[in-house]
Amino acid sequence: MSKRFITSEVEKDGKFVRQENRFITPFGIEEGQLPIESGRYRLLWSPACPWAHRSVIVRSLLGLEEAISLGTLDPIRPDVERTDWAFTLDENDVDSVLKIHYISEAYLKADPDYKGRFTVPAVVDLTTGDVVNNDYFNLTKYWEVEWSKFHKAGAPDLYPVELRKEIDELNNIIFHEINNGVYKAGFARSQEAYEEAYDLVFNRLDWLEERLSLSRYLLGDNITESDVRLYVTLARFDIAYYNGFNLNRNRITEFPNLWGYVRDLYSQPGFGDTTDFDAIKKHYHLCAVSNNPYGLLPKGPDLAGWKEPHGRDKVNYKERN
């Protein structure tokens, strides 16, 4: 079994149950919350990771690059005893701002007794060097709501007040059945748990395929928070999950609406320019899956289709109800 997940994340029936986040203090203006200050925080990500990727997409769409700096971890894990992420893409293998080699250093600085996994995304407070937030589920919403005074002019409203209830409901479905659904299949430790997750994922993809025949994006003509969340899993599906996690009923390229939709997003700034297929392929096949003893990197899939016209801007969609 891969050493990636501590055994408490696999239940007796072989189901994978994700750990709770440890650093969940919200950003905000109230006492005890993380203050909203431009230049104070560094977001640590790896382009391989879907949870981190979405926080980087939203940062980019909203123009928060100046306000929140970015540290990038190598998609290939370091060969050390613990599971960690390393700054081996940087000069001298050190993050230029934090001056650390591994993400674990920032976690252990914040809490020397931290026993969880050292995960991306993580936000580090530059005044202390401590991880202060690794709440991947809510990070994008903090960027959207609490960081609004630093948004660029004309930034999209990814979390419009009138759609928040619908977005939250959809995000929950996307989380359990798509974003984390693929991991439930990939990290299952029993045939039943794997097949249950496989059905969960493909039933929901069928439902999304139908939904996207009715509108360009999940909630209509404008991109929202939910689209970012769906995008990160779709962008990894054919290259990583289809074979690495045995989710091989269909590729995304076989769903006409989902395939057009994901290419539509990919063609837009913030999405395609933060999507690193090479990093995704290497991380999943060489570091995340447990069924690749010889460390073989799949040669495909052919990615040329990603740049083909998507045609989604020309379609007249029926009203969604």
Ligand X SMILES: N[C@@H](CCC(=O)N[C@@H](CS)C(=O)NCC(=O)O)C(=O)O
Quote the radius of gyration of the chain (alpha carbons, Å): 19
Give how many residues touch ligand X by CB under 6 A: 13
Contact yes or no for 55/142 (Cβ under 8 A): no
- The annotation status of 117 as a binding-site residue, yes or no, is yes
Cβ at position 29, least distance to ligand X in Å? 25
Neighbours of 198 (CB within 10 A): 20
Contact yes or no for 219/169 (Cβ under 8 A): no
Is residue 87 at the binding interface for ligand X, with CB under 6 A as the rule?
A: no
Contact yes or no for 61/151 (Cβ under 8 A): no
Closer to ligand X by CB, 148 or 291: give it. 291
Is residue 23 at the binding interface for ligand X, with CB under 6 A as the rule?
A: no
Is residue 261 at the binding interface for ligand X, with CB under 6 A as the rule?
A: no
Rounded Cα gap, residues 111 and 153, in angstroms:
38
The SS3 assignment for 196 reads helix
Closer to ligand X by CB, 78 or 217: give it. 78
For ligand X, the binding residue among 2, 8, 19, 33 (CB under 6 A) is 19
Which listed range, 112-120, 203-211, 223-231, 298-306, lies at the site for ligand X (CB under 6 A)? 112-120
Helix axes 256-266, 191-211, angle to 10 degrees: 80
Is residue 234 at the binding interface for ligand X, with CB under 6 A as the rule?
A: no
Cβ at position 40, least distance to ligand X in Å? 21
Unique residue bearing structure tokens 């993580």: 122
Which listed range, 114-122, 171-179, 240-248, 313-321, lies at the site for ligand X (CB under 6 A)? 114-122
Is residue 69 at the binding interface for ligand X, with CB under 6 A as the rule?
A: no
What's the longest Cα–Cα distance across the chain?
A: 56
Choosing from 41, 49, 261, 287, which is the catalytic residue?
A: 49
- The annotation status of 87 as a binding-site residue, yes or no, is no
List the x/- string, 191-230, binding to ligand X by CB under 6 A: ----------------------------------------
Contact yes or no for 73/120 (Cβ under 8 A): yes
Contact yes or no for 240/282 (Cβ under 8 A): no
**136 assigned to active site:** no
For ligand X, the binding residue among 28, 36, 83, 276 (CB under 6 A) is 83
For ligand X, the binding residue among 18, 40, 152, 164 (CB under 6 A) is 18
Cβ at position 235, least distance to ligand X in Å? 13
Closer to ligand X by CB, 21 or 292: give it. 21
Rounded Cα gap, residues 54 and 90, in angstroms:
22
Choosing from 107, 136, 183, 194, which is the catalytic residue?
A: 183
Q: Order of strands, edge to edge, in the sheet holding 41-45? A: 68-72, 41-45, 122-125, 130-133
Nearest CA to 272 out of 300, 234, 299, 301 is that of 234
- Residues belonging to the active site: 49, 183
Which residues are documented as binding site for glutathione?
85, 117-120
Q: Using CB under 6 A, list all residues that contact ligand X.
A: 4, 18-19, 21, 49, 51, 83, 117-120, 134, 136
